[in-house]
Structure 1
Amino acid sequence: MDLAEFDALAEVLRQKSAASEARHGFALIEGRTATADEITDIERRMGVILPSRYKAFMRNYGGGMFGFVDLLPVIAEPGHDDLLTVNDREFPDRGFVAVAPVGTGDYWGFPVTGGRCRDEVWFRFHDAGEPEVVADDFLEFAASRGLRS
């Protein structure tokens, strides 16, 4: 799936998000976007290359709530978790880059090989079990987890 196809799928959520914000004061898409320079800086600081579709998503939609999934923002407000702080704490060896907490101590994210994140999104258990592939790329993951009805 490319970004244009994803945008078409996400249009209904964008409309619901705008209506929810107007009616109830909260958005279904938080939109903590990151600039290309901010993403490049985080890649440098983490010592990894993030997948291109993930970077495109973060520039266009951002972290925070995206429908039914909570995504770590690239840059967070002071005192809140972001991509760097969670991964420094949970996965300092950089064999895995967490991008979304599951809420149980588990994470969705990317396995890393040679400093480069793979495109696939994996579910990583915090205590036992082998990681499992959940999506071929980040846009598929965001569509299946965030846009479900």
Structure 2
Amino acid sequence: MIDGMDFAEFDEQVLSLRARVARSGFDAVEDFKVIKGLTASAEETAEAERRLSVTLPEQYKAFMVRYGGGSFGFLDLLPIPAAGSSNQVDDVVSVSQAEFRDGSFVAIAPVGTGDYWCFPVLNGRCSDEVWFHYHDAGDPTVEASDFLEFVARRGVQV
């Protein structure tokens, strides 16, 4: 069951993903990484919160410190910008500020169609829920009740 997953259960799913990739032979493909691992420090995460004027979900912050952004299985997660880095265009801060100028959402992963998976923001706090935000039409819809559920379903594909 995915709902209410904790990091111990999630880590088991990651081990399963790595084993599936190893069996498929993709681990031998040059430059292919199941988990890219663009991790963030607690300080970098706090700086992203400051720049976005939000409080990010605890589960998401712990994930970014533990696993990080970039490739994660079948998902591409926007990384937290590295300290002192101003040249990385596609990170959670720059994309969120460009796409959601009103601060109503924080983008966490591109869908690949101009749409994003996001956290909705209410009164400066991100919801734990992950929503699918359409760039041109349609109301945003709930994708997962929390970040680990989202990554397990979309990235690990359990």
Taking structure 2 as the reference length, what is the TM-score of the superposition?
0.87
* Equivalent residue runs for 1:1-149 within 5 Å: 1-15=5-19, 16=21, 20-21=26-27, 23-25=28-30, 26-75=32-81, 78-148=87-157
More moved, 117-126 vs 87-96:
87-96
Give the Cα–Cα distance (whole angstroms) in 1 for the partners of residues 120 and 56 of structure 2.
10
**CA-CA distance at 1:20 after TM superposition:** 4.2
Decide whether the 8 Å contact of 1:33 with 1:62 is kept in 2: yes
**CA-CA distance at 1:14 after TM superposition:** 3.5
Q: How many residues align?
A: 147
**Secondary structure at 1:48 match in 2:** coil
Identity percentage of aligned residues:
56
Give the Cα–Cα distance (whole angstroms) in 2 for the partners of residues 118 and 8 of structure 1.
25
Give the Cα–Cα distance (whole angstroms) in 1 for the partners of residues 138 and 49 of structure 2.
28
Give the Cα–Cα distance (whole angstroms) in 1 for the partners of residues 88 and 123 of structure 2.
31
Deviations 1:55-97 (A, max 9, x none): 1111111111101111000026734310111011111211111
Deviations 1:11-46 (A, max 9, x none): 1223437x744x222211111010111100110111
Taking structure 1 as the reference length, what is the TM-score of the superposition?
0.92
Runs of 4+ in 1 over 6 A off after TM superposition: none
**Structure 2, unaligned runs of 5 or more:** none
**Structure 1, unaligned runs of 5 or more:** none
Superposed CA RMSD in Å reads 1.7
